[in-house]
């Protein structure tokens, strides 16, 4: 059976990843996951649209600068 993108373990591939305030954010399809500095999953498959207003699904890259600004990239 096909696994859901909502399950962090359904694949080892992610569309984008970045660190924001000591949390690793992993993006896959329409979902994102967070992992804390101890390696524990804190957010399990929340929809990107639930918490990142206007951010598209299927991101291509993400980067957070030293001053804390995060940029998301989507090739159209």
This prediction has a pTM of: 0.86
Distance of CA 65 to the CA centre of its chain: 16
pLDDT tens, residue by residue, 4-56: 567 777 778 999 999 999 999 999 999 999 999 999 999 888 999 999 999 99
Q: How many CB atoms lie within 10 A of CB 27?
A: 23
Contact partners, residue 18, CB within 8 Å, separation at least 6: 24, 25, 62, 63, 64, 70
Give the domain range for residue 62: 8-67
> Is there a domain that residue 73 lies in?
no
Residue 70: helix, strand or coil by DSSP? strand
> Is there a domain that residue 72 lies in?
no
> Is there a domain that residue 2 lies in?
no
> Is there a domain that residue 39 lies in?
yes
Nearest by Cα to 16 from 75, 67, 58, 66: 58
Q: How many domains does the chain have?
A: 1
- What percent of the chain clears pLDDT 90, i.e. is strictly above it? 75
């Amino acid at each position: 059976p096909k696994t859901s993108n909502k399950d962090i373990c359904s694949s080892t591939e992610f569309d984008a990843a970045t660190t924001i305030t000591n949390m690793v954010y992993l993006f896959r399809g329409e979902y994102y996951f967070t992992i804390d500095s101890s390696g524990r999953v804190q957010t399990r498959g929340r929809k990107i649209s639930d918490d990142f207003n206007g951010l598209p699904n299927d991101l291509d890259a993400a980067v957070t600068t030293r001053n804390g600004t995060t940029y998301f990239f989507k090739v159209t």
